């Protein structure tokens, strides 16, 4: 294979890195050099990419999502409801999901994420109605088509309405099947090492949709297979009360009893923890995905991000499902998280750089990928480049601040592992208009039943 020449991302308008005023040099999928003000690259034979009109940030990392939900955005039956009744309204619709519809939903979610500057995403897929047993396989194929780095979770539910849970019988599976398929997808798809493009984690949906037996067995299996663990926790007060009634303890106590409170685990939401629980999470090196838009739309509450960080908990960002956001735009999630946490903690404790840090370094910690999320020599070359030439940015002073404060929403260029996945605001080979048409037809069919 012929070696490619190193790329010099030259003279950016702004860059989220110290000592890189003149840009960075990329070679073989890695950042090999930061070029300080007044310097030239030490790397020889570079090919320059003129970044004078671009704000350069590490590729954004999405730590919580439900791709399939792009098919049920702004669904009338689920609007203006809190989490539990919202789920009850949507589960019957989601139960009709087909492989073809899922492929379209996943492609829409991944494309929207890429175009928003996201280079790595997770997905929490826990719905497996009959005929959709290969849902994770469908997601892997879509990620490979688009060139997006992914950590896909083999989710699960085995506690249905007849067992005292929330989901209908048609979307749950039995424990033996869940565990066997978890082994299958890890063995088939999970890649090791810093260059990994596809990884797998195990992710029972929530304490109110799986049995204690499955929670414990999943933790044991994740340890044996050496993969990460994910679930929803402490999203609403209703969940706390549910756990108290069903298990006689708070959700975090239940999680610890099931063998989950450890460094493999990252949790979605983490809103309703007390101070002692925050310290316990920090000691365990468990991490939290903050989902600002979803939490506001469902009125679930506000994750105490600064308090958790002060306790030592790493915080990442997640867009959450497109039925509770209702989008998959990660740079917009950065702005939402910034505004929500600024309103909670005040101007002296939350800056635009904090929000960008949550979406990069913090998110990298959530998914166990320290080689991502920073612009430093030796790190993976995952980058997002934004232009500030729209009306919304006119008159800006600080370009990095403008990206967050003025509402950046679409990247001009996105690099994943040293390769351009987005160029001039477009994903090569993807007909967006045709995708929207086919996805809209599938969504209408799902709603109609």
**Total number of domains in the chain:** 2
Within a domain: residue 173?
A: yes
For position 3, what pLDDT does the model report? 62
pTM for this predicted structure = 0.97
Whether 287 contacts 316, CB under 8 Å: yes
Whether 294 is covered by a domain: the verdict is yes
Provide the pLDDT for residue 1.
40
**Same-domain status, 52 and 66:** no
pLDDT at 301 over 80: yes
Tokens of 66: 């439900």
Question: Whole-angstrom distance between the N-terminal and C-terminal Cα of the chain?
Answer: 51
Give the H or E element holding residue 175: helix 175-189
Q: How far is CA 361 from the centre of its chain?
A: 13
3-state secondary structure 387-436: ECCCHHHCCCCCHHHHHHHCCCCCCCEEEECCEEEEECCECCCCCHHHHH
**293 plus 403 within the same structural domain:** no
> pLDDT-derived band of residue 165, with 50, 70 and 90 as boundaries?
confident
Interval 138-149 mean pLDDT: 98
Helix (H) or strand (E) holding 142: helix 135-146
Minimal CA–CA distance to 74: which of 366, 425, 322? 322
Same domain, 127 and 229: yes
- 374 lies in a domain? no
Structural domain of 247? 60-366
Tokens of 217: 């067995």
Segment among 113-127, 152-166, 190-204 with least mean pLDDT: 152-166
Whether residue 331 lies inside any domain: the answer is: yes
For residue range 219-273, list pLDDT tens digits in order: 999 999 999 999 999 999 988 898 898 899 999 999 999 999 999 999 999 999 9
Residue 2 is assigned to a structural domain of this protein: no
Give every CB contact of residue 197 below 8 A, 6+ residues apart in sequence.
143, 144, 149, 150, 191, 417
Per DSSP, the residues of 288-334 read EEE-HHHHHHTT-----HHHHHHHT--EEE----TTSS----HHHHH
At 235 the pLDDT is 95
Residue 441 lies in a domain: no
3-state helix, strand, coil in the chain (%, to 5): 40, 20, 40
The CATH number assigned to the domain holding 242 equals 3.20.20.140
Q: Are strands 23-27 and 7-10 parallel, antiparallel or unpaired?
A: antiparallel
Whether residues 156 and 86 fall in one domain: yes
SS3 12: coil
Mean pLDDT for 261-287 is 97
Whether residue 286 is found in the same domain as residue 394: no
3-state secondary structure of 93: helix
Residue 439 lies in a domain: no
Residues 362, 384: one domain? no
Residues 257 and 359 placed together within one structural domain of the fold: yes
Residue 335 lies in a domain: yes
Burial class (CB in 10 A: 0-12, 13-18, 19+), 247: middle
Entry field: residues in the chain: 449
The pLDDT mean for the chain works out to 96
Same domain for 66 and 47, yes or no, is no
**Domain match, 234 and 166 both:** yes
User: Mean pLDDT across the stretch 190-198?
Assistant: 98
Same domain flag for 384 and 354: no
Question: Which has the closest alpha carbon to 215: 268, 162, 259, 270?
Answer: 259
Shared domain check, 82 and 53: no
Catalogue the E-assigned strands of 83-228. Answer: 118-125, 149-156, 198-204
Element of type H or E holding 343: helix 330-345
User: Does 130 share its domain with 178?
Assistant: yes
| Residue range 19-69, pLDDT digits in tens | 999 999 999 999 999 999 999 999 999 999 999 999 999 999 999 999 999
């Amino acid at each position: 294979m012929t070696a490619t020449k190193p790329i010099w991302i030259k003279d950016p308008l702004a860059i989220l890195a110290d000592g890189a005023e003149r840009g960075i040099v990329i070679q073989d999928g890695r950042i090999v050099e930061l070029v300080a003000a007044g310097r030239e690259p030490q790397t020889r034979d570079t090919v320059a990419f003129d970044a004078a009109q671009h704000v350069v940030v590490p590729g954004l990392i999405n730590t919580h999502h439900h791709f399939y939900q792009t098919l049920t955005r702004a669904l009338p039956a689920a609007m203006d409801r809190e989490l539990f009744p919202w789920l009850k309204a949507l589960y019957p619709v989601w139960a009709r999901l087909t492989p073809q519809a899922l492929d379209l939903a996943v492609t829409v979610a991944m494309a929207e994420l890429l175009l928003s500057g996201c280079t790595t995403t997770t997905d929490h897929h826990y719905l497996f109605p009959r005929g959709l047993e290969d849902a994770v396989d469908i997601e892997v194929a879509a990620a490979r088509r688009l060139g997006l780095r992914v950590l896909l979770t083999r989710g699960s539910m085995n506690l249905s309405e007849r067992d005292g849970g929330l989901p209908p019988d048609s979307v749950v599976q039995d424990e033996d099947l869940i565990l066997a398929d978890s082994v299958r997808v890890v063995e088939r798809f999970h890649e090791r090492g810093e260059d990994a493009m596809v990884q797998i984690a195990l992710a029972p949906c929530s304490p109110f949709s799986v049995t204690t037996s499955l929670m414990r067995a999943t933790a044991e299996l994740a340890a044996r297979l050496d993969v990460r663990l994910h679930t929803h926790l402490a999203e609403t007060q209703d969940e706390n009360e549910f756990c108290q009634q069903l298990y006689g303890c708070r959700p975090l106590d239940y999680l610890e009893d099931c063998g989950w409170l450890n460094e493999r685990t990252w949790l979605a939401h983490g809103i309703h923890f007390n101070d002692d629980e925050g310290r316990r999470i920090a000691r365990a090196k468990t991490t939290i995905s903050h989902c600002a838009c979803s939490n506001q739309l469902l009125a679930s509450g506000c994750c105490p991000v600064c308090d958790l960080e002060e306790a030592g908990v790493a915080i990442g960002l997640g867009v959450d499902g497109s039925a509770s956001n209702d989008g998959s735009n990660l740079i917009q999630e950065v702005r939402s998280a910034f505004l929500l946490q600024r309103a909670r903690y005040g101007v002296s404790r939350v800056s635009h750089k904090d929000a960008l840090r949550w979406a990069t370094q913090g998110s990298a910690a959530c998914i166990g990928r320290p080689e991502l999320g920073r612009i430093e020599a030796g790190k993976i070359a995952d980058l997002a480049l934004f232009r500030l030439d729209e009306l919304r940015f006119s008159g800006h002073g600080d370009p990095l601040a403008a990206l967050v404060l003025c509402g950046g929403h679409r990247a001009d260029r996105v690099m994943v592992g040293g390769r351009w996945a987005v160029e001039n605001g477009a994903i090569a080979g993807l007909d967006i208009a045709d995708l929207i048409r086919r996805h809209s037809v599938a969504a209408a069919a799902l709603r109609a039943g």
